[in-house]
Amino acid sequence: MASSKPRHAFRRWSPLLLILVSLLNLPRVWTAPPSHQAPLSPPSTIDDEHLGPSEAHLQEIASLLDEIYTILANFTFIPHTSIKRGPHAINSTHIKPITRPLPRCKMLDSSGINHPDCTSHIPRDPSVQRLMELMPYVDKLEVDDAHWLFGSKFVDYRQEEELQDEPVDVLHMMPSNLALTKMADGPYVLLHETRTKRIGLLDTKKRVPVNLDEDPLDHKEQLPSFDAPDFLREIVRRYRVLEWIPWETARGGHDDGVPGDKIREFIEKNGWPDHFDADQFNVDMTRFRHNPSNEWSINRLPIHGMAEQAVLRIDELEGRPGETGQIPYTQQELALIREKLNEAGDENETWLLGWELQDAELCLGHYEQDLRSAKWTVQRWCPDSVCVKPDDYILWEYRSLERAEDLARRRLLQECLQLHHDIAAKKGQLCSDDENEANKRRGNVHNWQHKQWEWIKEAAAQARGDAHEHCSKTRPRGSLLPGDTDIDRAWRKRTEAARHIHREKERLKSIEDWLKKVPVSATRAREELEREASRIALGIRWWEDMYRNTVAFIRSERNGLTEAWLAFRGERDEL
């Protein structure tokens, strides 16, 4: 299958400035495409008729950022509820001033940083705080991935730590500059100049040189910039026409298991932008990730398919090149034991070797039984030595999706149960604004996880329908592959535990019967055999505990995790 590379593989951030200079070669007169989103409403405390040019510009920047975030949410790259629209309360005391080394001042502290006496602090322009108040923010705790633009993350100046992380000591940072993104994988952040109404990329690695003899502010012309509204409108346009998609611009690669061109295909197929079916888009994405026929799939099939474990067991029993298998090793041990038994002259040694011979013969019989069973399994699943047929990939896709849906359901129910208990514990208590906000955030996160589970569930349902149709046409009995959910695995573990219990009980009965034959005079042999019987009995109890725990798990699954489901329903009512 030919390799399908993402159209925009932004994997190296160092040449990014040149990329944007060429990509965003905006005309002087540029008409914005019609927006399907309502602009951000100004704060109620401001009269539209008295907005000054600076305030109107800040309102426009906030509105365009809101439009960008909304498009990302329409893609379902982030949930709509993660967007927190202004105006916000920003603590001005936490806004950091611009720091600069004084010209010709070369004093260093012990860490190699400018001594405080050699650093000037330039207050920020009031427009910076005003834009912070107006900007929409994306709550990074409510999204799966906070990256969104060329390796940088969403910024949130409502958080004190984000104000402290602002790159105020970077060469081109000005008092009226505000970073609109947060540095992450790459060195670049989107920088807005509120006074000149320009926007560009700031390289946060270019810190102010220690031995600079001139004023760093004289170097501001080195930063290429563009008209800010035009720049942001161009980002909107590129997302809207799918020239850019957030899965590529976020980190420079492709979404897990889905290359960029395939994502575009699914987006267009599902009616982007005006009639976009976001649910079916995510179902298509999910199915593609689990489809083993594509090279990007997270569903890597074992070489021998359903016979993989049987093939491994045959290798263990018969041996691999350079390794002795369990059957030939046991046969060699039997031969050695027989030789020693023939030469034994001590009564204790004779009775101990006799038991070792009997136990080895019993184990050899178990191994030979396992070998017959494993070879039958290989013959069943690999007729004509073909274990996985491309025509059967739909069966493997459904098997993988069924497990993914089971894991997502279980994780959702467990988190929901915890959330339900937390809400019940606080019911009737007066909560602070911070606690109310935290509960609201947890509710948003839960709802987003529930939506993702629904996408996986629907993908599994669609794959199940396709798998049944395939089976009815190609498989004699029309059956699907054995499942791989937690309860399927539990049933197999239960069967394994029962087999071990049966075999160990055989060994225990064998040694107890042998002990009845050992004369009282063979004291050492009797003591060692009794200790071995105790060890076998202990092993039986271990396997019986595993069996009981597995049965209890299966029983709880059959009951439908009643407590969790009740909590799930009640908790959704609370939210």
Q: Cα separation of 282 and 266, whole Å? A: 9
Which of residues 38 and 334 earns the better pLDDT score?
A: 334
Looking at residue 386, its pLDDT comes to 92
Looking at residue 327, its pLDDT comes to 97
Q: How confident is the model at residue 174 (pLDDT cuts 50, 70, 90)?
A: confident
Looking at residue 203, its pLDDT comes to 72
Q: Under a CB-based contact definition with an 8 Å cutoff, are residues 437 and 261 in contact?
A: no
Tens digit of each residue's pLDDT (9 = 90 or more) over 58-78: 999 999 999 999 999 999 999
Q: Cα separation of 320 and 325, whole Å? A: 7
Looking at residue 540, its pLDDT comes to 97
Q: Comparing 27-31, 274-278, 356-360, 436-440, which segment has the lowest mean pLDDT?
A: 27-31
Looking at residue 501, its pLDDT comes to 97
Looking at residue 270, its pLDDT comes to 98
> Stretch 226-251: mean pLDDT, rounded?
91
Tens digit of each residue's pLDDT (9 = 90 or more) over 285-321: 999 999 998 887 888 888 899 999 999 999 999 999 8
Does 171 have pLDDT greater than 60?
yes
- Tokens standing for residue 566: 């009740």
Q: Which of 179, 176, 175, 151 is nearest to 165 (CA)?
A: 179
> E strands of 345-503, at which residues?
none
Separation of CA 270 from chain center: 25
Looking at residue 45, its pLDDT comes to 35
Q: What are phi and psi of 265, to 5 degrees?
A: -60, -45
Tens digit of each residue's pLDDT (9 = 90 or more) over 509-525: 999 999 999 999 999 99
Adjacent-strand bridge partners of 203: 188
Q: How confident is the model at residue 374 (pLDDT cuts 50, 70, 90)?
A: very high
Tens digit of each residue's pLDDT (9 = 90 or more) over 87-145: 999 988 888 888 776 665 655 555 555 555 667 788 888 999 999 999 999 999 899 88
pLDDT winner (highest mean) among 14-18, 284-288, 319-323: 284-288
Q: Cα separation of 521 and 574, whole Å? A: 76
3-state secondary structure of 548: helix
Looking at residue 16, its pLDDT comes to 46
> Stretch 253-257: mean pLDDT, rounded?
62
Looking at residue 138, its pLDDT comes to 96
Q: Cα separation of 360 and 420, whole Å? A: 56
Q: Cα separation of 505 and 501, whole Å? A: 6
Look up tokens 């509710």; give the residue.
Answer: 443
> Stretch 215-219: mean pLDDT, rounded?
39
- Tokens standing for residue 312: 């491994």
Looking at residue 6, its pLDDT comes to 40
What pTM value is reported for the model? Answer: 0.79
pLDDT above 70 covers what percent of the chain? 75
Looking at residue 561, its pLDDT comes to 53
pLDDT winner (highest mean) among 10-24, 288-302, 359-373: 359-373
Burial class (CB in 10 A: 0-12, 13-18, 19+), 177: buried
Is the previous residue joined to 97 through a cis bond, with omega within 30 degrees of 0? Answer: no
Tens digit of each residue's pLDDT (9 = 90 or more) over 531-560: 999 999 999 999 999 999 999 888 877 665
Distances (CA, A) of 339 to 331, 334, 407, 510, 522: 13, 9, 55, 22, 21
Looking at residue 416, its pLDDT comes to 72
Look up tokens 């049965």; give the residue.
Answer: 551
Give the residue extent of every domain in the chain. Answer: 16-275, 302-387, 390-480, 485-575
Which of residues 38 and 171 earns the better pLDDT score?
A: 171
Q: How confident is the model at residue 420 (pLDDT cuts 50, 70, 90)?
A: low
Q: Cα separation of 291 and 311, whole Å? A: 24
Does 32 have pLDDT greater than 60?
no
Q: Cα separation of 272 and 399, whole Å? A: 30
DSSP states along 330-373: HHHHHHHHHHHHHH--SHHHHHHHHHHHHHHHHHHHHHHHHHHH
> Stretch 426-451: mean pLDDT, rounded?
74
Does 10 have pLDDT greater than 80?
no
Q: Cα separation of 441 and 458, whole Å? A: 26
